Structure 1
Amino acid sequence: MTKLYDRTAKTLLTAALVVVCLLYVFPVFWFLMSSLKPGSELFSYPLTILPKTATLQNFVEAWSTLDFFKYFKNTFLSATLTTAFTIFASATCGFAFAKYDRKWLRFFFVCIIATTILPTEVIMNPTFTVIRVTGLYNRLAGIIIPSINTATGIFMFRSFFLSVLDSLIECARMDGASDGKIFLRIMLPLARPIVMILAIFSFQWRWNDYIWPLIVLNDPDKYTLQVALRSIIGAQNIDWALLLVASVISILPLLLVFIVFQRYIMNAGATSGMKD
């Protein structure tokens, strides 16, 4: 009876999981298939998921219409630099909060975590004022610097460093290692899975960021990819075929980065705790 109950429960849970997966996959699949349709077929009635006459001409036109290389370069530069600075800043802050026993650090950590309850729109106005006063308006540095510190990254590193034994750090100090060497040569390599996870999230956040680059940048040559896609939408009409194809092209680099970093995360998790 127990085995029958367990088998029924597993079947129901599996069926529910399949339904949830289909709910997520179906819109993405329709989105990809629509990018292969000619413009005249997008809104033909009745609507069809698969294209009747699949074509890659939309991709050719989108690549020739938009200067993807320039927008890719701007977006990749800002996302990469922001991710690198975010990882280093979050790791150093997390190490200090986890291993330095200071009351004011605990209070400061609570203040940082409390910022997660604030909507991003609340701090946009004062942040933009600082960017304008410091001369970072209409520069890529203006979208990079405000995005470096994240409470999520600091919390992730602090939680991981708390699990590292203090005796390991004390042994390193007895051998003459400074706090900088302990952080760079011991703590940061141990936190490699956290580094990879935060790198994926940070790169994704910065790649898909739209509102902040739209506010800070007004030079089309400095637009990021998401802001450039907005220029496809005209005041009177929208070229849906071009917009769909450009959106598909924009997610390909992000998908590639995720696949590569996911492999490193799995390898790091599989070998953690093992001797070299």
Structure 2
Amino acid sequence: MADEAVPFDDRGFAYGDGLFETVLVRDGQPLLWGAHLRRLARGAERLEIPLPDAQTLASLPGQAGAGLYVLKLLVTRGSGGRGYASPESPAPRLRWRCMPFTPQSTHWRDGVRVRLCRLRLGQQPLLAGIKHLNRLENVMARREWCDADIAEGVLCDQHDRLVEATSMNLVWQRHGTLETPDLTACGVEGTLLAALRERLPIATRATGIEALMEADAAWVINSVQGVWPLRQLDDADGNCLKRWAVDTVHRHLQHHAHPLLGYPHDAFDEA
């Protein structure tokens, strides 16, 4: 079903008992579709939720028209069960919507300012990596600022180790090596990050904010917005911790990532 009413007793609505994917669709063709389906399948296996049949899922991107769209699909466990107890034979519920989309191309060119969040992510390895519906930590982190010049918030775990941004993954270059946080205990493994790791040597690091302070370049990335270079990192009180000049070093990741999404990858080389 498309964007129809969800019953009051739907477990996704009541408990966040479900999964979602947000997919960039260009002229009816989904980008990184295989990676999205694989992550959805991993999440379904973890939560033990049966997925809709492959033909139904494959038909969804075609609902978008010509141009650039974002497809958001949600799969919940459906209704039933008593309290937190799951129904013995769940009947999953699929909802989806296609929305026209315009990327923020100035962020590709000029880079973005980000801030550290006060909120610390809790660790739950069973839920790490997947895109489950319970995103309350991310919602609370995003409520920490209203300054329009702040594009994203950087999240650490309870041990002050870097994890992700509120809706994007983190990548940085330090001592000539591309690095990204360890996501085995918490955080979402983005599909663009997964695709880049198949093409580039990106090392996993369990590290704190010192990695960004030592970085020659840093980025926030996802499969809808693409790659935003970081130009400034602030602490949670708005004090500048680090500035980067957005230059050819920052363009390196865009060169590899943006063709996967149909975005420009060489328009800003002289920046």
Structure with the higher strand share, 1 or 2 = 2
Q: Which has the higher contact order (CA 8 A, sep 6+)?
A: 1
Larger Rg: 1
